[in-house]
Amino acid sequence: MKKERKSAPAWLEEGRSHVWHPYAQMQTMPPPLPVARTEGCRIVLADGKELIDGVSSWWSAVHGYNHPHLIEAAKAQLDTMPHVMFAGLAHEPAYTLAARLSRLTPGWGGEKSLKHVFFSDSGSTAVEVALKMALQYWNNTGKPRKDRFICLHRGYHGDTFGAMAVSDPERGMHKAFKKNVIMHYALEIPSGEYSFAEFAETLKDIAPQCAGLIMEPLVQGAGGMLFHSPDTLAEIHRLCHEHEVLFIADEIMTGFGRTGSMFACEEAGIIPDIMCVGKALTGGVTGLAATLATGAVYEAFLGDDPEKALMHGPTYMANPLACAVANASLDLFAREPRLEQAATIEAALHKGLRPLRQLSGVFDVRVKGAIGVVQLAPQYFSAEQFQQAFVERGVWVRPFGDIVYLMPPLTISPDELNTLICVVCEVITAWAQEVRQKVGYLFR
Ligand SMILES: Cc1ncc(COP(=O)(O)O)c(C=O)c1O
């Protein structure tokens, strides 16, 4: 029997003409789904319908929603001190978090440990801070002409101006601002015909003007969920060091278990000079990000000269509430088997999604850690229609570009994961049959 739909809540009607949604053509976008609450790995809509979350609220809710340990930490912190400014003042949640976070980073304990932590409030801001750090590092060490960055095709590092400038200049979502941002050097990741030798040659030529190279290690997220190997990552890192270019790892998406290790850089055995984290840092509860630097970078800012200091300080920097939740999230990583859960998800994604490769219009199926990607023929693909089909079947998956991807909470239950994968397979199989009919042959 069909369930009767409740009418839209009053707040939705009242706010509809006021609210501006992200990345959306407001005139044509389908009405957003009103959410009443979240629970475990589910989003509960105002009409009572439950959606299994396949994308962890933009890849942040690694422990699922409303994890009691995170909620308790937040409530306790709210009672004592929700916020206090961080200039000239110190508080336990931030100091504890900085020490704990450092200890978790790749290469901890060695000479090149990432032991200096600058907190901010979003991933984009953490990237801005990283870029500023790199520029000022060279300024402070007498090489001010190193004032450009190397970034990678298909890279995405956020929506603010500095971050846009180091994201893919051609294919990224910020094309409209191409003329408004500083031009940096965008290189292809070496693969196939574009060899490492060519990449190295270009890097060597531009290195004297470059403060740093920024990249998403192992998985480029918003640029299309593209993977490269740990060897590729290690070689790019090596070349940066050889040519005096700081290596900035943007682990905002990859960090905290998503690729199967705590941080993607670990898999390549590298220690970045600067590393950005955000998103899952608080387990998706509240905004917080951090930019970590090695001793060598940090020490370049020390001295008697106030001009050498890092001039940055967001109002909500190191927000105690967010830091307390982030500490609780790190407790969960220590106590609960998140990396094992990522490995289980990886195996299930491999097994469940692989058969899609045989279908018409399916160009690629790839899996890395708790990330599963199905790349489809763009000319027949409508992200909107796919999303609607997913919602009708009780899952929340947001395709973009030419891909359908899954990045579920690491705590997802086997049954929920199975449902998620089955629904994705069902919707893509139906679509592939239509493609085959339209094209008239098996099109891959
Ligand atoms: C790799 C990467 N860097 C930076 C950002 C920007 O983070 P935020 O949306 O928190 O500003 C994102 C967001 O998707 C990201 O995936």
| C-beta 156 within 6 A of ligand 1 | yes
- 256-275 pLDDT, tens digit each: 999 999 999 999 999 999 99
What own/partner pairs with CB < 8 Å and gap ≥ 24 does 84-89 have? 84/320, 85/315, 86/119, 86/313, 86/317, 86/318, 87/313
Nearest to 7 by CA among 44, 45, 53: 45
- 181-204 pLDDT, tens digit each: 999 999 999 999 999 999 999 999
Given a contact cutoff of 8 angstroms between Cβ atoms, the answer to whether 187 and 232 are in contact is no
CA 200 to centroid of chain Cα atoms: 27
CATH architecture, domain 70-335: 3-Layer(aba) Sandwich (3.40)
Place of tokens 């200890």: 103
Neighbours of 430 (CB within 10 A): 10
The pLDDT assigned to 170 comes to 82
The pLDDT assigned to 4 comes to 53
The pLDDT assigned to 1 comes to 44
Task: List CB contacts of 54: < 8 A, sequence separation 6 or more.
Answer: 390, 395, 396, 397, 406, 407, 408, 420, 424
The pLDDT assigned to 5 comes to 58
- Helix (H) or strand (E) run with residue 307 in it: none
Radius of gyration of the chain (CA): 22
Output the CA angle 39-45-47, nearest 5 degrees: 130
Homologous superfamily (CATH) for 10-63+337-439: Aspartate Aminotransferase, domain 1 (3.90.1150.10)
Task: List CB contacts of 19: < 8 A, sequence separation 6 or more.
Answer: none
Of residues 279, 316, 368, 405, which has the active-site annotation? 279
Nearest to 419 by CA among 403, 398, 396: 396
Of residues 137, 156, 185, 316, which has the active-site annotation? 156
User: Residue ranges of the chain with pLDDT lower than 50?
Assistant: 1
| C-beta 53 within 6 A of ligand 1 | no
The pLDDT assigned to 7 comes to 79
Task: List CB contacts of 436: < 8 A, sequence separation 6 or more.
Answer: 359, 360, 361, 442, 443
| C-beta 287 within 6 A of ligand 1 | no
Of residues 2, 3, 23, 415, which has the active-site annotation? 23
Candidates 279, 281, 291: which one to mutate for ligand 1, based on the most atoms within 8 Å of Cβ? Answer: 279
C-alpha atoms less than 13 angstroms from C-alpha of 270 in its C-beta half-sphere: 27
CATH 3.40.640.10 positions along the chain are 70-335
CATH 3.90.1150.10 positions along the chain are 10-63+337-439
Place of tokens 């058969």: 355
- The pTM for the full model equals 0.97
